[in-house]
Structure 1
Amino acid sequence: MIDAIDLTKALIRRPSVTPADAGAMDVVEAALAGLGFSCRRLRFGEIENLYARYGTARPNLCFAGHTDVVPVGDAAAWSQGAFDAAEIKGVLIGRGAVDMKSAIAAFAAACATAIEAGKVTGSLSFLITGDEEGVATHGTKMVVEALEIEEEVIDHCVVGEPTSSARFGDMIKVGRRGSINVEITVHGVQGHVAYPHRAANPVPVLLTLLQRLQTRVLDDGYPEFQPSNLEITRIDVPNTATNVIPGTARAQLNIRFNPHHSGADLAAWIASEAQAAGEGFEGTVAVVPQISGEAFLTAPGPFTEVVAAAVRAVTGSDPELSTSGGTSDARFIRALCPVVEFGLVGTTMHQVDERAPVSEIRQLQAVYERLIAGYFTAFAA
């Protein structure tokens, strides 16, 4: 058997700040191998990934998660060492306690219980990456591509992200908005402020473009989704002199979008607006988009009900099915199968003194145990 708290502590004590693994994947692999999982490491670039499977029959229920964590920030501000995994008055403190080493440990412990009880009438699998908090180019995305090539079948997936909002079990994520980052660079002609006719100031062009983009109401929402929003995240004019018209101005923005849009359509719209803003300008306006993921939804049905029923049985309350929040690796896994996300309360993730009550980690294990049992009851032949 596996103790979820002990395994969480062992993982926290591995300082796996993206892209470092620091032995965290070894800890996961050892725990799963001990349960009889067939484990495969998939290394892409400098990123360690793991795919492990128990059983060969269908249906295959997969758990997806990540061992990498964000930097600790101001280490001196922590009440305990960020990687000490200290347990103080029933609360586990450490980077990854919430996001999301505890969820990996809880699902592993739940698998141990299910295997011991003989309740696995199909297969259980784990898709664990070390590149979720980073650029995510060598993590789950590439593992999914490799599994597709191998024709590995995953029927349904649960991602262990900290989805609970105010209290444990109040929310399940059944979809996510898409995300696109855009970098805009306006190149003009540098010159003296007293002789503007000899220069081409890029700043007014950039400001005009940003104003045009922000003026548009993207939409009023979409069934199950909140409205799309465009946020300017950076404006930069590399100029330290007061009497010089700059030669370059840059900006960055992000759009979180619902299924009214696709990343490609939004990129085309911004490019069109950039062209219009640059008409008559003696310079260039360059737009570089990066689509992080498209909007998706796992429609309510038998799978979401199995997950909701497991939460309801442990907490006594019905969880909200939500598409709010940022992106996650679910955006890649949806190419393989229906996917939902469920985990701890996320209020302290990425913060100093990230922490999780031990009792809630035990509750999470209990939800996962019921989820596994309910899943094979509902979907096994």
Structure 2
Amino acid sequence: MSLPKDPAENLAALIRCPSVTPAEGGALTALEAMLAPLGFAVERPVFSENGTPDIENLYARLSGNGPHLMFAGHTDVVPVGDETAWSQAPFSAAVHDGEMYGRGAVDMKGGIACFVAALARHIESRGKPKGSVSLLITGDEEGPAINGTVKLLDWAVGRGEAWDAAIVGEPTNPDLLGDMIKIGRRGSISGLVTVHGRQGHVAYPHLADNPVRGLMTLLDALMSPAFDDGTENFQPSNLEITSIDVGNAATNVIAAKATAAFNIRFNDTWTAETIQAEVHNRLDIASGRRKYRKGRKEPVEFEVTWRDRPSHVFLTRDDKLIETLSASVKAVTGRQPALSTSGGTSDARFIKDYCPVVEFGLVGKTMHMVDERVALDDLEMLTNIYTRFIEDWFEQG
């Protein structure tokens, strides 16, 4: 049986599986077929929770004597959008002008394809690594992330698994392969502010209480002043209003209620608990202001609800992991990667509770876009980076 040494062939097999969250779409089956000739033991647990779709996941282990390296990622992808807008069919893995097209090409079937190819090359030339390698792959990263990595980690630990380090193969590079390694992430928390007013006729505002005016006062307080100026390793914390709604289609009616959803990306100045406390404090103070409610003496009546499962800020401090990966990137690309905590969240936020974790993958310019694609040269370079990293990390013991 031939080994899966060609990252382009691996990726094409994965792209051709329409694994839009929550569908497995054949992607985990394709991955299992690649891992079989490498000697991996593969399990595919399915996790469930009321109100969410069942999700099939994959955990594969190649056992050896020595440290244990995890590679983590996801085979699920976002919807293709307007399929007619694609220049190549989104699940065809067509190659045009040196690039492979397809949903998931960079986010993140490409990273998985390259890591599998790197393992195959290492095994062919040097034998099995001097330790254990596991792949922790979910089908729920692009979805609610409830029945995926967080439960797969808990399941694996319950079976006695422990890891010394992890790489998540997300597309971390903004422009060129080798630009950036993610060594941490800001925290993320979402909430909803609801202001209660009194419905009435717009021609008689003194008989009503427009909740939009109260909401404007509260949102002013959330937007300014800035939460902080940033820290040594993180950019400033930031709050964005993501929607405002009154549920009112009439033009001559003052609504009874107005809501605003918001998200905060916070740095290591804060924890999820302290940023929540700051929000409540700002709103409590602002509720007594009358900036947009002239003549109103009573405070704004409001409530705040928080979304479940905030993402906590983290920073990885593991010299062996970071320096070995950085050296591998530089050796292959000639670039010294920046060590960054920028961007959104990933499943690294769950893995960091079990072992040191960094993220490094392809260039992310086209992720989630029409005509998502990856250069074939980048697939080969990333495979070479992973191959060198596997060799060097295990050699250090």
When normalised by structure 2's length, the TM-score is 0.92
Going from structure 1 to structure 2, the CA distance change for 1:300 and 1:54 (only over 3 Å counts) comes to closer
Note the C-alpha offset of 1:42: 1.7
Give the alignment partner of residue 149 of structure 1, picking from 152, 155, 158. 158
1:313 corresponding residue in structure 2: 331
Q: In the comparison of the two structures, how many residue pairs are matched?
A: 379
**Deviation digits for residues 200-242 of structure 1, max 9, x if unmatched?**
3211111111000111211111111111111111111221222
1:81 corresponding residue in structure 2: 89
Is 1:275–1:285's contact at 8 Å kept on the other side of the alignment? no
Q: How do residues 191-270 of structure 1 correspond to structure 2 at under 5 angstroms?
A: 191-270=200-279
Q: Does residue 1:362 correspond to 2:363, yes or no?
A: no
Q: Does residue 1:165 correspond to 2:183, yes or no?
A: no
Note the C-alpha offset of 1:284: 4.0
Distance (whole Å) between structure 2 residues aligned to residue 275 and residue 34 of structure 1: 62
2:7 corresponding residue in structure 1: 4
1:22 corresponding residue in structure 2: 25
Q: Does residue 1:139 correspond to 2:148, yes or no?
A: yes
Q: Does residue 1:377 correspond to 2:377, yes or no?
A: no
**Deviation digits for residues 65-84 of structure 1, max 9, x if unmatched?**
10011111111110010011
1:68 corresponding residue in structure 2: 76
Going from structure 1 to structure 2, the CA distance change for 1:263 and 1:235 (only over 3 Å counts) comes to same
Note the C-alpha offset of 1:246: 0.3
Letter aligned with residue 234 of structure 1: S
Distance (whole Å) between structure 2 residues aligned to residue 196 and residue 281 of structure 1: 17
Distance (whole Å) between structure 1 residues aligned to residue 9 and residue 300 of structure 2: 64
How much identity, in percent, do the aligned residues show? 52
Distance (whole Å) between structure 2 residues aligned to residue 246 and residue 281 of structure 1: 18
Give the alignment partner of residue 320 of structure 2, picking from 302, 308, 316. 302
Note the C-alpha offset of 1:53: 0.5
Q: Choose 140-149 or 170-179, whichever is displaced more.
A: 140-149
SS in 1 for 2:95: strand
SS in 2 for 1:293: coil
1:324 corresponding residue in structure 2: 342
Is 2:320–2:393's contact at 8 Å kept on the other side of the alignment? no
Note the C-alpha offset of 1:137: 1.1
Is 2:74–2:109's contact at 8 Å kept on the other side of the alignment? yes
Q: Does residue 1:124 correspond to 2:142, yes or no?
A: no
Distance (whole Å) between structure 2 residues aligned to residue 223 and residue 42 of structure 1: 40
**Deviation digits for residues 142-195 of structure 1, max 9, x if unmatched?**
112222333311110011011112111111111111111111222222122233
Give the alignment partner of residue 39 of structure 1, picking from 42, 60, 78. 42
Distance (whole Å) between structure 1 residues aligned to residue 233 and residue 321 of structure 2: 17
Extract unaligned runs of 5+ from structure 1: none
Note the C-alpha offset of 1:281: 4.2
Q: CA RMSD in A?
A: 1.6
Note the C-alpha offset of 1:196: 3.3
Give the alignment partner of residue 101 of structure 2, picking from 93, 100, 121. 93
**Deviation digits for residues 18-64 of structure 1, max 9, x if unmatched?**
11111111111121122110111121121111111001433111100
Extract unaligned runs of 5+ from structure 2: 49-53, 289-297
Distance (whole Å) between structure 2 residues aligned to residue 207 and residue 290 of structure 1: 25
Letter aligned with residue 24 of structure 1: A
Distance (whole Å) between structure 1 residues aligned to residue 381 and residue 170 of structure 2: 15
Distance (whole Å) between structure 2 residues aligned to residue 207 and residue 291 of structure 1: 27
Letter aligned with residue 192 of structure 2: E
Is 2:221–2:283's contact at 8 Å kept on the other side of the alignment? no
When normalised by structure 1's length, the TM-score is 0.95
